[in-house]
Structure 1
Amino acid sequence: MATALAPIKVDGDTDELISHAAHFLRSSKKDVVDVAVREYIQNHRDEIQKAALDALRTLDGSTKSAVQLITGASAEELDELGGFSS
């Protein structure tokens, strides 16, 4: 499977850290970021999985549940704002 390159943006301080790490590890910035992201995701896999499952549990196929998930608003708050028609 061919992989496409997708640019990411980081602030200047982070870019400097990446540059220094790449230099001293004799690696490319791309490789440093790749390894760092993979390690981060591996270290937070349980949190990510829990959040994904929680999100799926809240979705019942309705517009209201999708808006709740996106906005973080409760059902009561949405109802106060006018709610959704069935």
Structure 2
Amino acid sequence: MQPVKHTALVTKGESWMKNYMLVATLIATIVFAAAFTLPGGYSQNTGIPFFRSEPSLLIFVISDAVSLISSSASILIFFFFW
């Protein structure tokens, strides 16, 4: 029995994977930049963020870390299977 060739499906999958990898790379780039520029800025005297006692800053930092980890993981997975 000869193997069935799915060239159209493979071509479609490669196209989808390239587009998804581009989006994941853009997200990782933006999230990496956002990690160093916290909302509200830093105090010039101490270097501590202005909103350090606000719960919204903690939510921002956690969501930023989760998105960086997930987008980086998806990029690495696509590199592994490409």
Give the structure-1-normalised TM-score.
0.28
Name which structure has the greater RCO, CA cutoff 8 Å, separation 6+. 2
